[in-house]
Chain A
């Protein structure tokens, strides 16, 4: 027997200190390491990313490549300069880059993803101590930074195209340039409509913008929001008549960021990650339920017939019936970034609570806050902002949500034990 085997060996830990580390049980290890976790997540997230590249053309691929490269290069440079040994760094940097690309629209100039990636890695991750220690989802930190720095570049500011954003026509998928756009019909189905000569994309009103017209009287969509009960068989708020067909939202054929539109791909990626046990279904589900309930019960201002303001339209109690209410709720849920925030962003391991109950709390908070921000404020990325805000509470939730330990009584924290 080798006597050295019983003594200790020298291991380098992530803190850079060399410590004696006596090998102890267990002597077998599960095959999945942290590197595998991140790379498999990247693999899953590549589905929505490819969907975005198909829907928004080669510019989307450019944005994604720039974001990933920026994240990885920043990570390498940071650790080279500070001389801190970086473990797990690169695979998580790739993941951050992909997530960042999913939150950016395809028509932004080249420096926007670069700046966002640098911010994500340095401000979002590295200064906190890297993976396992940051408070806010790094990709969201980068996205918030560019939303503050370049607000004009993230929405096409041309006066004629105000509040309209591009989406590729069906015959120009993948190869089209998303910046070559023409006016499109907002409420027509996307399928089967080729783009006119020389143009690749339709400029459409984002459905979220139309819906914001319901509550925001400064919105240009507001004037269209009068009730027209005489002309329509079913009396709906007119904004619902300005929205695209629901099928467009499922394909992802609506203006938005790379990853937020392909609902089906996002759900598939989420299911795969749940299957791999990388995320718990409780968190997305809690977030979805909280958002649905919030939208269904939150009162909004509404313009009535003859431009009178009907205050406090309660969707579920509206005189227009349950069908209208459910339509309204579905559009509110599907037209923003809620699904992206729900299935890929809020489930980032480090910035969510560890316990299942804590994750449900986080999900409830995220869903409610996301919908409140979407309904009542004009922040550019309401759902992602909600996730960022709730991430701040994660350490607190982790500290105070204590599941019952085997052999102890229920509600130990209330008993003061």
Chain B
């Protein structure tokens, strides 16, 4: 296990046992042309054109991007700008606006009905195909990973193959409160996800394939047992101490290897996957269908009808929350709920223009009154006790208040996994997570500046005053 961590309230009960439903038809879709952090794709359609479901509407400009497809049929209204979540903040991306949409039930992948060994209904026999053939087929699919920071699956696979990964890990822990989308996906599409995982693991070339699940939910995953046996996948139940689903922490728990600060688990030979990606891989490789939506948990204390919903990519988050979850019960005089994109611990405040992308696992409406005023640090040390990266967060907070970026770098700020435990536990209600994230950004910017100008001056010890710094004197 890992040092630190915390038991969070689970809060998943309303959504845990409900089957995934199809979200109501949105008025329009704003399909982002840059779902991954890359150059936006070139629009392939013009306003006024009619598109079919699954039609290509954007062509990638370089290998870091992916082609974009229309999740639903409809009419191209215009090309506008939306916000796409990446690494805990929102970035702008051009998008194609679709109106007069077709029925959203079309994005739901069909269940596998045939017996496991029966080849009927399969377009492609991946077990008989060679690696190159399989890679070529995957590359045609233009899939992305569905992580916190989505990236093209082809790029991910190339890096994983170059890194000689010994482990392929499917992370279905859903460790954040309220969020249960991966759990529902594995419970309902277990065999498909297992087969998709087996396909990716074969391409990565790793011997150890592991499914890491929450120990409280394993009884829901019985449909995975037979396929897992067949593909040699180990199923491991893990305890629910909070940031166990963070990539680096899960790598440490399962492989005993610690990821160096600022790098991804690929650097220690671990390919970390998620359930929606595996499902998309199965659907494309075996069935020849693209999954152009994802399961999003819509929940929170202000939601009338919480649940998990299939939402096509490009659904505006605010519309998804109001359409699927019913009217806001607090609209009559209650406190205004705050929309959160992602889980309550590591998510971000939902931008007004935010849309569903491969990285959106949840849209939650929480109470705005939950954000208390910060006070002075009382140096209780709980942030450090519970930090899974063992950072001295109190010291980093001092460094932030005094704008000592180099001291923060010395304190190892880059190892932060941005799980949000320090901000959760802080009795002084300091925005610790936010401050450490800001320090990380400054350190990365300084290092990049130093790397771009070799032989130039050493980066200054004091960077510019951070926005939140105020003259309080720390020790």
Contact = CB atoms under 8 A, between A and B. Distances in A.
B389 A406 contact: yes
A305 interface: no
A283 to B, nearest CB: 11
Contacts of A36: 427
B347 A25 contact: yes
Interface stretch (B24-32, B116-124, B374-382): B374-382
A131 B379 CA distance: 9
A233 interface: no
A350 interface: yes
Interface in B265-304: none
A129 B380 contact: no
Interface stretch (A16-24, A109-117, A327-335): A16-24
A26 interface: yes
A404 interface: yes
B371 A1 contact: no
B376 A407 contact: no
Interface string B72-94: 00000000000000001000000
Contact of B352 (A3, A19, A398): A3
A67 B8 CA distance: 40
Contacts of A30: 424-427
B248 interface: yes
Interface string B440-475: 000000000000000000000000000110111111
Contacts of A2: 336
B429 interface: yes
A395 interface: yes
Given A25-B348, A354-B392, A402-B411, A37 B370 contact: no
Contacts of B344: 25-28
B366 interface: yes
A405 B261 contact: yes
A23 B374 CA distance: 11
B433 interface: yes
A133 interface: yes
Contacts of A27: 338, 340, 344-345, 347, 349, 364, 366, 370-371
A26 B395 contact: no
Interface string A267-278: 000000000011
Contacts of A33: 372, 427-429
B452 to A, nearest CB: 23
A5 B368 contact: yes
A36 B429 CA distance: 12
Nearest to B366: A27
Contacts of B420: 25-26
A29 interface: yes
A26 B433 contact: yes
Given A402-B411, A408-B260, A88 B352 contact: no
B388 to A, nearest CB: 7
Interface in A16-63: 17, 19-30, 32-34, 36-37
Nearest to B381: A354
A143 B151 CA distance: 62
A13 B370 contact: no
A33 B261 CA distance: 31
A25 B472 contact: no
A21, A278, A356, A405 pick with most chain B CB within 10 angstroms: A405
Nearest to A23: B371
A412 B471 CA distance: 31
A14 B472 contact: yes
B390 A405 contact: yes
B388 A406 contact: yes
B351, B380, B391 pick with most chain A CB within 10 angstroms: B380
A155 to B, nearest CB: 35
B434 to A, nearest CB: 4
Contact size range, B: 35 or more
Nearest to B365: A1
B38 interface: no
A307 interface: no
A6 interface: yes
B384, B424, B433, B472 pick with most chain A CB within 10 angstroms: B472
A11 interface: yes
Given A33-B429, A34-B427, A407-B248, A132 B391 contact: no
Given A132-B378, A406-B252, A5 B391 contact: no
B383 to A, nearest CB: 9
A21 B474 CA distance: 19
Contacts of A277: 382, 385
B350 A19 contact: no
Contacts of A21: 374, 431, 468
Interface string B308-352: 000000000010000000000000000010111010111111111
A2 B322 CA distance: 13
B267 to A, nearest CB: 10
A407 B433 contact: no
Given A1-B350, A402-B411, A406-B415, A25 B345 contact: yes
Contacts of B434: 22, 24-25
Given A29-B370, A87-B376, A402-B411, A407 B468 contact: no
A34 B260 contact: no
B54 interface: no
B342, B374, B378, B417 pick with most chain A CB within 10 angstroms: B378
Interface in B385-444: 385, 388-392, 394-395, 410-412, 415, 417, 420-421, 423-429, 431, 433-434, 437
B136 interface: no
Interface in A120-148: 129-133, 135
A25 B437 CA distance: 10
A350 B382 contact: no
A17 B473 CA distance: 13
A407 B366 contact: no
Contacts of A87: 375-376
A26 B424 contact: yes
Contact of B349 (A5, A278, A405, A406): A5
A395 B394 CA distance: 12
Given A12-B373, A25-B88, A25-B420, A37 B380 contact: yes
Nearest to A134: B475
B168 interface: no
A24 B433 contact: yes
A77 interface: no
B15 interface: no
Given A21-B468, A88-B375, A132-B376, A26 B346 contact: yes
A29 B426 CA distance: 8
A337 B177 CA distance: 47
21 contacts: A1-B350, A11-B374, A13-B470, A14-B375, A24-B433, A24-B437, A25-B340, A25-B346, A25-B423, A26-B346, A26-B424, A28-B8, A28-B177, A33-B372, A132-B378, A277-B385, A354-B379, A395-B475, A406-B259, A406-B417, A407-B248
Given A24-B433, A25-B348, A34-B428, 20 more contacts: A20-B468, A23-B371, A25-B345, A25-B346, A26-B344, A27-B347, A28-B424, A29-B423, A29-B429, A132-B376, A132-B378, A350-B378, A398-B475, A405-B389, A406-B248, A406-B259, A406-B261, A406-B389, A406-B415, A407-B261
- The 7 A-B pairs of least Cβ separation, nearest first, read A405-B412, A26-B420, A1-B318, A406-B389, A24-B434, A132-B376, A15-B472
